[in-house]
Amino acid sequence: MDPALVSGPHAHGATSISRTMALVMLALLPATLFGVYLYGWPALNLLLITVASALVAEAACLKLAGKPVRPYLMDGSAVLTGWLLAMTLPPWAPWWIGVTGSLFAIVVGKQVFGGIGQNLFNPAMVARVALLIAFPLEMTTFTTPSPLFSSDAPGFLGGLAITFGSAPHIDMVSGASTLGHVKTEMSRGISLDAALAPVFDFMTGFIGYMPGSLGETSALLILAGGIYLLFKRIISWHIPVSLIASLLLLAALFHGIDPDRYIGPLVHLLSGATLLGAFFIATDLVTSPVTAKGQLLFGAGCGALVFIIRTWAAYPEGMAFAVMLMNALTPLIDHYIRPRVYGRDRKGEPLVYESKPEPPA
């Protein structure tokens, strides 16, 4: 029963955490299904094992913290974290990559901070960065697409062997992601055009038929999911637009200066985690700023950092680092950038009209 004294509103919109999480998962679904189709049974195994271990980790932490397990587990946030993490993993990665990643994401990335809503960093990115540093080989071994039920795809048992096998699979046809390939080739002194030619083609990149992480390759499907989230007002346009704009602007600028050394904006847009990051990762509600202006700044910062890391740092892809660095700035952004209060100027003083009506004498 209600408490005796209860403030309004005595009505509530059809919103809930689980609805928010479910809509994000729905938006992820097309790209995920495509990833599973493209990389076959091992990808599905990895996805399931990652999500399942995220759930187990969450339940264990809630139990330990003495919080009610059911309502928190049912809010969908742990499933989404595991899901997002799996999207950024190499699809044929062994099972323990998924399990370790989920443990990192849920325990270190989320529950240590106090659970849902309290974490400073995006849990999936915490896990991804930790995995990338701890297991660089597994995390950068990508496979070329071998669609489900095609002749060269592993069957169900073969898939299990790849995911749960003790040694790296010998038959694995490994390929490199576009950005990884370019970085390696250029470090060997091969020109950008020559390095890019065999691995990048606009239509392939747009549809996503290429080596890459489980759910990152299809620009088309991720974009569709992102637009759906915008339409459903789960995210606002500010972060995706400013992130992509700042990345493209920087890329265009440098590519214009020296096309032989700097990758063009289109490749930046369609490779790696750009779109997944812009629509699904940087927009993480908990770890991004709350005001529109703050979000613009946050997105622009992410875009710039992605460009800097991709271009000059040792790693071919920088989305996870960029988002985490900007996550660290979120409290600062929220402290300094606030909306203007009604009836007050930016400094918080009451508005003054120049032609203020004077009382009659």
CA distances from 22 to 92, 197, 279, 285, 302 (A): 26, 40, 15, 14, 26
Pick out residues in 162-201 that bind other proteins (CB under 8 A): none
Write down the residue that tokens 């915490």 correspond to.
126
Stretch that binds other proteins, among 164-172, 257-265, 274-282, 337-345 (CB under 8 A): 337-345
Contact 111, 61 (CB under 8 A): yes
Contact 331, 284 (CB under 8 A): no
- Rounded distance, CA 159 to CA 140, Å? 19
DSSP SS3 for 175: strand
CA distances from 211 to 148, 181, 289 (A): 15, 10, 33
- Kindly report whether the peptide bond that precedes residue 9 is cis, defined as omega within 30 degrees of 0: yes
- Rounded distance, CA 37 to CA 44, Å? 9
Contact string 18-47 vs other proteins (x = CB under 8 A): -xx---------------------------
Contact string 68-97 vs other proteins (x = CB under 8 A): ---x---x-x--------------------
Write down the residue that tokens 């747009």 correspond to.
206
Q: Does 317 bind other proteins (CB under 8 A)?
A: no
Q: Does 336 bind other proteins (CB under 8 A)?
A: no
User: CB-wise, 75 or 216, nearer to other proteins?
Assistant: 75
Q: Does 329 bind other proteins (CB under 8 A)?
A: no
- Hey, which residues does 142 pair with through a beta bridge? 175
Structure tokens at 327: 């996550």
Stretch that binds other proteins, among 94-102, 168-176, 219-227, 331-339 (CB under 8 A): 331-339
User: CB-wise, 154 or 294, nearer to other proteins?
Assistant: 294
Write down the residue that tokens 């030619």 correspond to.
197
Q: Does 331 bind other proteins (CB under 8 A)?
A: no
Stretch that binds other proteins, among 50-58, 100-108, 125-133, 284-292 (CB under 8 A): 284-292
Q: How far is the CB of 274 from other proteins (least distance, A)?
A: 23
Q: Does 63 bind other proteins (CB under 8 A)?
A: no
User: CB-wise, 48 or 285, nearer to other proteins?
Assistant: 285
**Sites of contact with other proteins (CB under 8 A):** 2, 4-17, 19-20, 71, 75, 77, 115-118, 236, 285-291, 334, 338-344, 350-353, 356-360
